[in-house]
Structures are given as C-alpha cells and as structure tokens.
Structure 1
C-alpha cells in the first residue's frame, strides 16, 4: 500500500467515515478482516480498514490528485502575490518623473496589508476563528485543479478533522501570512531595484495639518527602523522636503529612501514573517497530536467488528451491486508455498487431484464457514501461488466471483482452473464464455488444464 503520512492516513479515515455517514455502510467484509489481522489498537485498525477501502474505491488516487491540485493552487497564488507586491511598489514610486509623496507611498505599500493583518489578529483573538478569504480561495482552487469527482469529499473531511483541535486556523493562517510575506518581499525587492536604477525625489504635502504633525509622524514611524540601524530624516530634512527646489538634494533623497525601505521592512515584512513562523509552529505541534475521535458513531459502531470480544465466522452483509476490479499478486505481506482450492464441486469431480509434495490442498469451499476460515488463514499466511478450481457447468455468479477476487488478493500469484466436464457430459459454450469474460474482468489468468507444474515450480 502507498506510503502515507500520519495526517494523510487520518484524513482518508475521516473521509471514509463521512462517506459512510452520508451514503450508508460500504462493502467492507474483506477490509474488516484485513484490519483485524493487521493487529494494533482500534485507531490503527480503523486506519487500515479505511486505507484498504480508499485504495479499492479510488479515494487514494483522488487524494493524490487533490494534493497535486493544492500544490498547484499554492503556486498560482504565490505567483499572484509576487506580481501584486511588485505592482504595489511600482504604483507607489512611479516612474521617477515626478516627486514621490512619502506618506502616500507608505500608505500604498502598507495600507491594505496592515488593515487585513489587524483584522486577522482581531478575528483570531476575539472570535477564535478568522474568515481567511485567501484560504477559501485556495480550497476552492484546489478542488478545481484536482479534476477528480471523488476529490470533492476530501476537503470537507480535512476541515472537520482539523477543526477538532482548531488546526484549520493555523493551517490557513500559515498560508495567508505566507502569501502576504511573499507580496511584501516582492514589494521590497522591487523598491530597491527601482531606487537603484531611477532617480526619485521625496516630498510631503498638506492643507490641514502643520509641519509639526509630519515631523512627529516621521520620527515615530522611523523610531523602530532607526533602532535597527535604518537612518531617519532629520527635522531639517523633513521641513525642506516641502520645497520643490530643495527636496532634490542627494542626502535628503537617500535619507527618505532608507526611511521608506526600513518602514516597509519593519511594518510590512517582519510582522508577516513572525506570524507565518508562529502559525507554522502551532500547525506542526497540533498536527503531531491529532487523533481520531473514537466516540463518533461511525467509529464506535466498528469497535466490536474490528476488535471483537470473540471471533465470529460468517457474513450477514448484503452483496454489493457491483464487483470491484481486482488484480492478483497485490498483497504486501510475505508469501510462501503453493495452495490449491476448489469452489463448490459436486461428487462427479473427485478431489483432490494427485498433488506434488510441495503443494497443499485447502479442500472444497462449500460453506460460509469454510470460506471465512480459509480467508482468515490466507490473510495471515498468504501463499506465493494459488490455484482455484471451478466447475464451469455452474454460472459465474456474483458470490463466486467475489470469493475468487478475495482469494486472489491474498496470494502473490493466482490462476483459475476451469475443470473439464465429467465423462459423458459437455460444457455449455455460452456459460464457458461467461466464465472467460468474468475472469478477464477480474484480471486473472485461467486454463482448462491442471496448473500443477506451475504450482510446484512457479513456471509452466
């Protein structure tokens, strides 16, 4: 079975639970048997059962498609963030032909980011959640890019799983702050490139406020950057920046440029970086402690089935409407030896045939108990080669084909032996053709001659 991370195993288990909750119990007889044989506690058996059902029903491939879509969605949003950040810087500084109003430029670069940052923090502190629109866009885009109808069940299951420990806020928080961090870094880099290749002059203008207000605002905004080594314009530089004949002084221009870069770095980049790292830390620590809620009805109802107080044989489930495609030799367990078994033979077929010493006879499966006993044994000790003898005079009904499929999944290699008709009788051509069609759909090789040499040596 495909190697999955602990989170992905829990995720698929929750997806199967939701699917059964809305559509009813799945055909899980073989999955339950394999889960019981795998051992472990209830959580481990629930995961084993869910992963087997997910692989059988296509949910595992849907998960891989969804993850590919999620990564592509992150890449698309990251590219948009980089382009948006560069656009902010270019819009704030312009082409250098006209002087730059420093406070308009600072507001353009930090205004939207600061408002959304403040709303995110307040939502987290006051409501315990946050309406991360970027996070919802990412989930929507991930579903669209997955292009798998079964992947639509995965996002709700993931959100429900994460909400139990309120991890969704940290996962989406890391995404949102990470994208804004990219945007701010892109804006900062574009600012430096523009300032390095163009000549900018900086001014400030006002109608209502006095010069003292701008001096105080400039010094206040520059205090923290100045503490970290960024220079701040002096009072004289601030005052002369209102005069278009003086703002073009080289020292004044450089001082304003450094002040603007420091403000963007301190108030734009660093807060997003710290929040991103904080969300990542909370996400990783919470993810490692994530567990299934075994008190949910979907799990508690399986407790006796997966961890029975006494082992029971037999099944009471309704047969599935459609057989699932199987392939021989897909067991991950260690296989050894050769085994031959017959399904519902009558007295006209003597059994067993003369067998090599290395081939074991599993008898004739003619009852529910005998079938379950053999399946349980093969789950624990799967054979390397398995031959299944069938009487082609009988119709290939759904139950027989399902049994053949279950037997084949517990062996490394499987062949079906379609027995010859007893002396004086003939096989019905149409019925034999039905057997051939059904076995081809199951992906199992078949022949009318006894595969004894193959059982003994592994080749014909």
Structure 2
C-alpha cells in the first residue's frame, strides 16, 4: 500500500494507531520518519492532527494499518465464537435446571443452575466497578486473547496493549469490556429462557422444594420474597398453602405446575435478564459518550518528542534520530495532489560529468542532489509544489543501494509521473552489465519506468 493512500478510518482507530506507534518507538527506538513528518506538516495544522497524519503514514508503510484491520477481523470472529459459546451455555443452563422430566424439579436447585454463576459474576463486576478497579472481566480478557490469536499477524502484537492503554486513560476499558460481558450473559440468559419455555411447553414437569436445615416458614418467606417483584410484571405468586404442599411431593394438578413454572420464569426474567439488559445499555451509553471525548495525551514523553519534529517553529536539521530497529522496503508511487511543471534532477553524479545538458524551455533544472540538506530542501519544495513530470538522472556505475532507492521512491511520490534516466558512460569509461542489471531489477520492484536516453520530449509534453 502506498503510504500516502490509506482507507478512511474512524477517529478511534486513528488514536489507536498513534498509541501503537508510540509504544513501538518506546521499545524499538525512533522510526525513519522524515517523509512522514513532511506529509504530516503538509496535511494538518495543529499538533494532534499532525501526530495522527504521521501515524497513519507510518502505519500504512510498515504494515500496522493492515495489521489493525486483521486485528479487528479477529475481534469480530472472537465475538462470534463467544456468542456461539453463550448460545450453548444458555441451552445447557436450561437443561441443567429442568432435566428430561423423569424426575421432579427441585425449585431452588433449578434457580441456582439458572442464576447462580450469573449472579456471582455480576456481583464481582459491581464490586470492581465500585472500587474503581482496572481489572478486566474474564470474558473481556478471553476476547482480547482470542482477538490477538485470530489476527495471526506479527505486526499486531502491540495493538492489543495499545488499545487498553488508550482506553484506560478515561476508564473506557471497563465500559467496553462490560458491554461485551453483559451482552454475552444477556444472550445466554435469553437462550436459557427460550429453552425453558420450549421444555416446559413440550414436557410435563413436577416441582418440589427440599431442605434439611430450613423449615417450611423460611422457604415460604424466601419464595414469596423472590416472587414479589416478578408479580408486579404479572407473574403468579404461589400462596402459602401451595408452597407448603409442594414440600412433600410434586402436585398432580395442572394449575400448581403452571404457577411454579411461571414463578421460575419470572424470577429468571427479573433477576437475570433485566439487570443484564440494563447494565449493557448503561455500558453502551458510557462507551459512546466517552469515545466521543477521547483524545491524545500530549503530555506523554513520546508525543512531547514528536512535537519538536512536527512543529515548524522547532524543526531541526541534520541527524537527530537513532537508526531504526527495522528497515522497511522502499516504495514508489505518485502524488495525488494538484501538480504542475516539469523538472529534471540528478543524484550523486561524477563531478567530471558535464551537467546539466541543454534543456528545452519550460523544463526546470533542480541540480544535483549530493547532500542530505539538498535532499531535504528539494523534498520540502516538492511537498508544497508537486511536479507533473519528473525525470531523475542516475549514474548506473554506482550500486543501487537502499538509501538511493528509498530516495527515488520518495521523489516519485512527489510527482504525478516519474521516469529514471540511466546515464550512459562518458567516453573512455565502461559500464558493468551486472550492475546495470541490478538497477533494472531494483527499478522494476519500485515499478518505475527507466531509459538509457533523455526523454526531454516527454518532459515537455508528456508524450515520447
């Protein structure tokens, strides 16, 4: 992908890439970002915008942008897998609570099967929320782990930690992971409710309560206490005589069975499904509200160092960065900005060679690029005023090293159309055929057209 071209991504993904690049540079040292900084200074005016533009350019060049898309695909697949697990778990909860109908259903054993684990996990989440803990829910940690594994991209290693660090600054991680956790539990409980309805509609169940330590009065109070709130939604509430009678043996009549079945479904709905639904909506509201206010923390050391390179008033010349930990492959391309004019330039020519050749009117001579300062000045000029046609003269007696190829690619991205002029040797000099073949191979990889003769007519008119 051309670093100057990237798909439109939302603000959160932009901030996420900035944080990923910051972590990468903290661990591996500063990146080779001269062209990225020029691009950022050209496309944005404020510091946060320039940091985002720089991060997008580097992420497209080095593969983080594609890795982010792979990570998001893995995250969606992980949610689908967790959703499938929730479906199976909900059906399993219903089966564990009711069984196959061959034996009477112990009411509180069924209630514990349907709501016990859910209430314990919900209590743990509420305690961590009240204490302001940054501890992530188990389902959230499982989702993050699955997302990273399913991404299957080496460049995605720092995306997960970067996302968590970005969200933790405003406490958004608890709401995002809470939204996921409550949503999965809500799905499991809804499936459990539907499975219970299906089982109760197709099989005859008898209901009993059994206890050794508690008396009937305690069970009556507990049953009516749990059923009071569902009764407000229209679910029947067993009376004392029915509760006392169900402690001895399953009642044979249809009415007692229907009352107990409705009571059980009402408790599942009111104490299981509705709290999860309410908390999921709360997490969704807090997530959407906080996401819109998310921004870069410019006080972090990594961004403070970037401010020195991205702000025009503090721009420095010369070598100010350490060597990058990993080298990237040079890439060419073309400018998508408005362009005009034709330009001829040469790179590292022999001082004995006569230059420039006679040029037709309308073609500008950019001279010979020998020093880092000359390259920087020309690239800055082309960043502001890209050329329509650019002819670059190279001496094929020199080896096509990585630095020269990277410069050719960067120059090509500053013009709409670019050609390479492989200069013929001066009289009395020879040209190594193997080295010329190396130039051809390197320029083919860059997808740059080349010739051993000057194309001044092409520079003038755009046609050979």
Q: What is the DSSP-based 3-state SS (H/G/I as helix, E as strand, rest coil) of the residue aligned with 1:436?
A: helix
Q: Distance in 1 between matches of 2:336 and 2:241?
A: 78
Which residue pairs with 2:3 in the alignment? none
Q: Distance in 2 between matches of 1:102 and 1:306?
A: 68
After the TM superposition, which residues 44-443 of structure 1 pair with which residues of structure 2 at under 5 Å, given as runs? 44-244=49-249, 247-309=251-313, 313-317=317-321, 322-329=327-334, 331-345=335-349, 346-355=351-360, 357=362, 359-443=363-447
Q: Per the alignment, do residues 323 and 428 of structure 1 end up closer, same or farther by CA in structure 2, a change over 3 Å counting?
A: farther
Q: Distance in 2 between matches of 1:323 and 1:103?
A: 64
- Kindly provide the CA deviation profile for residues 169-193 of structure 1, in whole angstroms up to 9, marking residues without a partner as x: 1111111111111111111111111
Q: Per the alignment, do residues 318 and 450 of structure 1 end up closer, same or farther by CA in structure 2, a change over 3 Å counting?
A: farther
Contact 2:73 2:151 in 1 (8 A): yes
Q: Which runs of 5+ in 1 are unaligned?
A: none
Range moving further from structure 2, 445-454 or 266-275: 445-454
After the TM superposition, which residues 1-40 of structure 1 pair with which residues of structure 2 at under 5 Å, given as runs? 1-40=6-45
Measured after TM superposition, the shift of residue 6 of structure 1 is 0.8
Measured after TM superposition, the shift of residue 224 of structure 1 is 0.8
Q: What is the aligned length?
A: 457
Contact 1:352 1:361 in 2 (8 A): no
Q: What is the DSSP-based 3-state SS (H/G/I as helix, E as strand, rest coil) of the residue aligned with 1:388?
A: strand
Q: Distance in 1 between matches of 2:122 and 2:353?
A: 82
Q: Per the alignment, do residues 412 and 199 of structure 1 end up closer, same or farther by CA in structure 2, a change over 3 Å counting?
A: farther
Q: Under a length normalisation based on structure 1, what TM-score does the superposition of the two structures give?
A: 0.93
Q: What is the DSSP-based 3-state SS (H/G/I as helix, E as strand, rest coil) of the residue aligned with 1:403?
A: helix
Contact 2:308 2:315 in 1 (8 A): no
Measured after TM superposition, the shift of residue 335 of structure 1 is 3.6
Q: Distance in 2 between matches of 1:411 and 1:270?
A: 61
1:41 partnered with 2:46: yes
- Kindly provide the CA deviation profile for residues 54-101 of structure 1, in whole angstroms up to 9, marking residues without a partner as x: 111111111111111111111111110111011000111111122211
Q: Distance in 2 between matches of 1:166 and 1:430?
A: 60
- Kindly provide the CA deviation profile for residues 242-275 of structure 1, in whole angstroms up to 9, marking residues without a partner as x: 343x612111111111111111011011111111
Range moving further from structure 2, 130-139 or 433-442: 433-442
Q: Distance in 2 between matches of 1:293 and 1:316?
A: 24
- Kindly provide the CA deviation profile for residues 265-320 of structure 1, in whole angstroms up to 9, marking residues without a partner as x: 11011111111111111112111111211111111112121103165555455666
Q: Per the alignment, do residues 166 and 318 of structure 1 end up closer, same or farther by CA in structure 2, a change over 3 Å counting?
A: closer
- Kindly provide the CA deviation profile for residues 3-44 of structure 1, in whole angstroms up to 9, marking residues without a partner as x: 111111111111111111111111111111211222321111
Q: Under a length normalisation based on structure 2, what TM-score does the superposition of the two structures give?
A: 0.92
Q: Distance in 2 between matches of 1:285 and 1:127?
A: 19
Range moving further from structure 2, 120-129 or 140-149: 120-129
Q: Distance in 2 between matches of 1:375 and 1:62?
A: 29
Contact 2:193 2:268 in 1 (8 A): yes
Range moving further from structure 2, 403-412 or 63-72: 403-412
Contact 1:120 1:130 in 2 (8 A): no
Range moving further from structure 2, 224-233 or 345-354: 345-354
Contact 2:62 2:328 in 1 (8 A): no
Q: Which runs of 5+ in 2 are unaligned?
A: 1-5
Contact 1:385 1:413 in 2 (8 A): yes
Measured after TM superposition, the shift of residue 402 of structure 1 is 2.3
Q: Distance in 1 between matches of 2:107 and 2:322?
A: 75
Q: What is the DSSP-based 3-state SS (H/G/I as helix, E as strand, rest coil) of the residue aligned with 2:391?
A: strand
Which residue pairs with 2:455 in the alignment? 451
Q: Per the alignment, do residues 25 and 260 of structure 1 end up closer, same or farther by CA in structure 2, a change over 3 Å counting?
A: same
Q: Per the alignment, do residues 64 and 459 of structure 1 end up closer, same or farther by CA in structure 2, a change over 3 Å counting?
A: farther
Q: Per the alignment, do residues 131 and 304 of structure 1 end up closer, same or farther by CA in structure 2, a change over 3 Å counting?
A: closer
